[in-house]
């Protein structure tokens, strides 16, 4: 959909609207045609575009990394094998530097979160009208192509990480040890309510900070691309190219920050000193 076909406000709202499938108030199921219809569907509505792009990009990650592993050669490594090995070495170095426990899950978890988020963030570099126009020709009215600009995606990942943090905190420290960590620190047993409040807030802040940091940065970047698309054509290219080049740093940096925090939080879950 070209920006000239809509007012500026309508254009922005259109590009920030997910392709939503859910149950209408009258009981039938279908796709929302307005933001109000999407809102009326409630909590159980599904953002089809977010799920679709997330799964496709995740499948591409698994396919190409599995292909590189299958075709790995010591004598004559391909360029792609060297590229994959450099990513794996980078992740392994960060895990060894930040994680002091023993858990074979942490490195694959860090690799998966980093590469998957990089791929999802990179969709922000696709010109904002290309895919929406393509899908509009097939009858798809709304389409958001960057999964990490949807808080449902970022919170989904962060809640998954949070569940792992809780699981390994209890597994490594025991239920009593984990409860003691929440209730006896930092002020001792005589300040149990204050300890529980402070440690509880600290614990719950982990998934919230993971989700909102990634969402906020990517949403802001996408908004700037949309605003640039509203400008005259001759100005668009003079602004979008420098912003896209700068945004490459944001794409990689946000994935790195998310991965680093995952490693740090998993290390904290494995600490038994207290």
Q: Count the neighbouring beta carbons within 10 Å of the beta carbon of residue 246.
A: 11
pLDDT, residue 4, reads 45
pLDDT in tens, 102-129: 999 999 999 999 999 999 999 999 999 9
pLDDT in tens, 4-50: 456 888 899 999 999 999 999 998 999 999 889 999 998 889 999 99
pLDDT, residue 102, reads 92
Q: Among residues 54, 121, 217, 240, which one is catalytic? A: 217
Q: Among residues 86, 202, 209, 238, which one is catalytic? A: 209
pLDDT, residue 187, reads 81
pLDDT, residue 152, reads 96
pLDDT, residue 249, reads 95
**Which parts of the chain sit beneath pLDDT 70?**
1-6, 273-274
Contact 218, 146 (CB under 8 A): yes
Q: Among residues 98, 103, 152, 213, which one is catalytic? A: 213
pLDDT, residue 273, reads 66
213 part of the active site: yes
96 part of the active site: no
pLDDT, residue 146, reads 97
pLDDT, residue 233, reads 82
């Amino acid at each position: 959909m070209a920006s000239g076909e809509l007012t500026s406000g309508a254009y922005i709202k259109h590009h920030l609207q997910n392709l939503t499938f859910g149950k209408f108030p009258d009981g039938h199921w279908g796709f929302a045609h307005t933001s109000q219809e999407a809102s009326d569907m409630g909590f159980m509505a599904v953002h089809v575009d977010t799920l679709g792009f997330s799964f496709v990009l995740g499948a591409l990650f698994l396919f190409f990394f599995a292909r590189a592993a299958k075709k790995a050669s010591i004598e004559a490594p391909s360029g792609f094998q060297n590229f994959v090995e450099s990513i794996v070495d980078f992740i392994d170095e960060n895990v060894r530097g930040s994680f002091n426990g023993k858990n074979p899950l942490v490195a694959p978890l860090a690799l998966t979160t980093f590469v998957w988020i990089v791929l999802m963030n990179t969709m922000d570099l696709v010109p904002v009208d290309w895919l929406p126009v393509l899908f509009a020709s097939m009858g798809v009215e709304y389409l958001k192509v960057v999964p990490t600009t949807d808080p449902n995606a970022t919170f989904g990942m962060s809640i998954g990480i949070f569940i792992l943090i809780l699981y390994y905190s209890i597994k490594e420290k025991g239920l009593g040890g984990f409860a003691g960590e929440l209730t006896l620190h930092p002020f001792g047993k005589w300040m149990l309510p204050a300890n529980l409040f402070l440690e509880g807030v600290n614990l719950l802040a982990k998934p919230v900070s993971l989700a909102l940091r990634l969402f906020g940065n990517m949403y802001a970047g996408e908004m700037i691309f949309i605003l640039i698309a509203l400008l005259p054509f001759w100005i668009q290219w003079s602004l979008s190219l420098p912003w896209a080049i700068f945004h490459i740093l944001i794409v990689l940096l946000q994935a790195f920050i998310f991965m680093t925090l995952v490693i740090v939080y998993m290390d904290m879950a494995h600490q038994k000193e207290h």
